[in-house]
Structure 1
Amino acid sequence: MVSGTHTTRAALTPPVLAALATVYVVWGSTYYGMKVAIETLPPLGMLAVRFVLAGALLYAVLRWRGVPAPSRREWAWSGVIGTLLLGGGTGLVALAEREASSSVAALMIAVSPLFASVFARLWGERTGTREWLGIGVGLIGIVLLNLGELRATPTAAALLVLAPLCWTFGSQWSRRLPLPVGLMASAAEMLAGGAVVALLSVVVGEHWGPVSSRSAWALAYLVVFGSLIAYSAYMYLVAHTRAALSTSYAYVNPVVAVLLGVFLAGEQLSGLGWSALLVILTGVLLVAWPRRTASEGPAH
């Protein structure tokens, strides 16, 4: 991620498409992965291990390849962004899921593109009419997908509102901060964010017990794919695409999560559920479709 650099945020280039596919599929699969992992692991403790391990591995590889270590100033800002994204974003979701269903969590996180567009406007980035339409269509699809599943305590509901606010604000703010260049930003943010989540685990009094092989393998998947690969892909999108597009994963992830539940866990999906998936994908298409530049004429 190249922070503070204003790049063209419209073209769906091959790297952007690859990053989108990675974030869409991998982060969608982490719903199932986290469900398996917390069978015998404490939620926040599991996330702390996930982020610290992923961050340390990525940092070690980058340093071995000669990438400069972050400066004190870059470490400080990486700590701020890592806390917002991983501590405030993912960490609060993990806390909320003790008292809320995963479908409620998916619904609330689905408002991320809306929050991102609002925050982007604070820094002068324009959100087009079609993007707003896509955001609205996607939210309607998420509501349809979760009809009958809206169960959460007031505390969990509040945490699930705060989580995407922290995540999207941190994502948009990171574009304007002096962060490390490229993947070193991801490594520093995961290390700092993981430390914050570890502190949260201690504060809430989580306890560790025997860990099953299923949970261990699920944690390994979350470290390598959910954090090392997908988080780095997401930070690339934040730096190179529009806010509405970089956060469009929030619509697709529930789709992937539902499909994995159907095919791996034997869950059933009603006709209304399949209709909701179609609506969600329509919203994503509206958000992701490239804008016409000022030099382009009307389509024929």
Structure 2
Amino acid sequence: MTSQEQASGHPTLSPLIIACLAATWLIWGSTYLAIKFALVSFPPFLQMGSRFITAGVLLMAWMKWRGAPWPTAVEWRNAVVIGGLMLGGGMGGTGVAEETVGSGLVVAFIAVIPLMIAALNRCYGIKTGAMEGAGIAVGLVGVLMLTQGSGFQASIPGLIAITVACVTWSVGSVLSQRNFPLAPGAMGFASEMLCGGAVLMVLAAMAGEKAQWPPEPKALAAWAYLVIFGSLIAFNAYMVLLARASAGLASSYSFVNPVIAMLLGVSLGGEVVTGFEWAAVSVVLLGVVLLVAGRRSP
């Protein structure tokens, strides 16, 4: 941050920050439709496991080439726990949900994660302010509305899967900050992807999943997009935002992604979203906006 930015109290949006915002808003918002396209040839656990193992190997090779040290034994153990929760449960559950629920509705449900994390942090003595509490309450009302829409009502297994995904991702996020820290920097995320990918491959074997071979070109392209853009580019862009921007700006993806995902699902995926479901999403996003605004307040 420059001295001019510090004096004003409002950091300017540099080209790097704008590029990182575009990555977290647009790329992450589009990955949910890509997951659905890849499901044609790659079942959910197998798709996610192979995706994160590939991305983890590439990222770890890059970090080793730059001279980063290997994670310690304790950090590898933590990567198994956090990767198992966030990727095994979180991303695995997301893939399972998208087998029967539209990608736009799935990501709209996922928008509740910042609210879950804020609620879980109360267990560690981190109190929420009045606006944050209002955000949590409003967001939960929106999620309850969303579960009553035709999309989730038509697929109870999909609703259960996305609920498990949100809970495990939120718990993993909090534990990674409090009890199970990863290795510093990108090496920690590479170890998390490798361990989480391994957990997903075990789940794929237990479920008897097999990829279609040869895969359909559209499914293979979607899988490659998830590896390169979803796992490597957008994830690292998010880490840059956490380091160089405010927490509120970094977390802004959580109320942009649902809109992007739903628009793409309707326009490119042929998904149908009812007026009631759009209203439910609006309530969820209002809750997230209140939460982020509350965190920005002194």
TMscore range, shorter length? 0.7 to 0.9
Distance 1:104 1:276 in 2: 10
Tell me the amino acid that sits aligned with residue 206 of structure 1: E
TM-score for the superposition, normalised by structure 1: 0.79
Aligned to 2:6: none
Counterpart contact for 2:135–2:290, Cα < 8 Å: yes
Q: Where does 1:25-174 land on structure 2 (aligned, <5 Å)?
A: 25-102=26-103, 105-141=106-142, 147-151=149-153, 154-174=156-176
Aligned CA distance change for structure 1 residues 172 and 237 (closer, same or farther; 3 Å): farther
Aligned to 2:5: none
Counterpart contact for 2:82–2:176, Cα < 8 Å: yes
Tell me, which stretches of 5 or more residues in structure 2 are unaligned? 1-9
Q: Which moved more, 1:109-118 or 1:37-46?
A: 109-118
Paired residues, what number? 284
Q: Which has more helix, going by share of residues?
A: 2
| 2:232 aligned to which of 218, 228, 234 | 228
Counterpart contact for 1:79–1:189, Cα < 8 Å: yes
Map Cα deviations across residues 95-142 of structure 1 (whole Å, 9 max, x no partner): 344454545533543332232112111222222221222334444555
Aligned CA distance change for structure 1 residues 126 and 88 (closer, same or farther; 3 Å): same
| 1:292 aligned to which of 276, 288, 297 | 297
Distance 2:241 2:254 in 1: 14
Aligned CA distance change for structure 1 residues 270 and 170 (closer, same or farther; 3 Å): closer
Distance 1:66 1:56 in 2: 15
Aligned CA distance change for structure 1 residues 115 and 151 (closer, same or farther; 3 Å): same
Counterpart contact for 1:248–1:287, Cα < 8 Å: no
Aligned CA distance change for structure 1 residues 222 and 157 (closer, same or farther; 3 Å): same
| 1:257 aligned to which of 258, 261, 273 | 261
Counterpart contact for 2:112–2:284, Cα < 8 Å: no
Distance 1:244 1:260 in 2: 25
In the alignment, structure 1 residue 216 sits paired with structure 2 residue 220: yes
Map Cα deviations across residues 244-280 of structure 1 (whole Å, 9 max, x no partner): 9876645432211111123334556565565556545
Distance 1:163 1:69 in 2: 29
Aligned CA distance change for structure 1 residues 16 and 182 (closer, same or farther; 3 Å): farther
- The percent of aligned pairs where both chains have the same amino acid is 42
Distance 1:72 1:263 in 2: 47
Counterpart contact for 1:172–1:243, Cα < 8 Å: no
CA RMSD in angstroms comes to 3.3
Counterpart contact for 1:50–1:219, Cα < 8 Å: yes
Counterpart contact for 2:76–2:191, Cα < 8 Å: yes
Tell me, which stretches of 5 or more residues in structure 1 are unaligned? 1-10, 294-300
Tell me the amino acid that sits aligned with residue 115 of structure 1: M
Tell me the amino acid that sits aligned with residue 160 of structure 1: I
TM-score for the superposition, normalised by structure 2: 0.80
Aligned to 1:283: 287
SS of residue paired to 2:45: helix
Aligned to 2:7: none
Counterpart contact for 2:57–2:194, Cα < 8 Å: yes
